[in-house]
Amino acid sequence: MHRQAQPIFPALRAFLARAGGMAALAAILAGALALAPARPAQAADIYRYKDPFGVWRAMKVPTGHAKYYKRAQARAAWRSGVKVCMACEPKSGDGARLATLEPASRALQWGDAKVPTAHDGLIARAAQDSGVDQALLTAVIAIESGFRSDARSPKGALGLMQLMPATAASLLAVDDIETALVDPATNVKAGSRHLRRLIDQYPGRLDLALAAYNAGEGAVRKYDAVPPYAETQAYVRDVTALYERYKTP
């Protein structure tokens, strides 16, 4: 029995030697992987820009792509007629002092300028049908689109009253919402109905109705007030100021 077991030990030693070698190799490989530098994350640039309301923002874009974003923003600004210095460096307080930046100048611009009359008829009809003051509709259109029926925001809002297709879907019984919103009469009709609903939802609080039109009902519900968003606060202020000017004989 003892002599028969002898051949087993050399085989066992050989196996353990091979196993030890494999373990050593595995340990070496594991150490090399641990010491190797981690795979770098995808490179990105920080693209700083001014939005149409004069607020400086920043976003990550793929390396080398910032120039394409700048060109796209320049085209959007040119189409909308909003003059924003996209090359200027941000100044201390930009955004925090939004009341002194672009939105105020828009209200002053339309308050002092002659209001375009091309859409007066359809605005008057929409005001009569919805029960929204024509002066208020005119003020909203001035701030939203500058009276451009082909206006399109970077977020996809369309037309004179800058309606999002998702919002307009519940107001229009059409298949192609985007095409319908480009039509001035359809856009103002839907926009005035939407604004009427918001005014009824916040009776006696035009500021909340305008805030909901700009930032959404969820934002107003969250804060139970005009949301503390610079854009929304400027929007409410500017529309209200223009409304007072337009309704004054």
136-172: per-residue pLDDT in tens?
A: 999 999 999 999 999 999 889 999 999 999 999 989 8
Please tell me whether residues 89 and 110 are part of one structural domain. Answer: no
Asked if residue 142 is part of any domain, the answer here is yes
Same domain, 229 and 112: yes
Whether 103 and 88 map to the same domain: the answer is no
Distance CA 216, CA 220 (A): 7
Lowest mean pLDDT across 39-43, 206-210, 225-229: 39-43
Count the residues in the chain: 249
Domain assignment of residue 160, yes or no = yes
Out of 67, 96, 125, pick the residue that ends a domain.
96
Quote the pLDDT of residue 174. Answer: 83
| Tokens read off for 244 | 């007072």
E-only strand ranges, 40-156: 44-50, 56-62
pLDDT tens, residue by residue, 72-129: 666 555 554 444 444 444 444 333 333 333 444 465 555 555 677 789 999 999 999 9
Domain boundary among 51, 80, 96: 96
Catalytic residue positions, numbered:
144
User: 85 and 107 share a domain?
Assistant: no
Domain count, the chain: 2
Which of 96, 131, 161 is the C-terminal boundary of a domain? 96
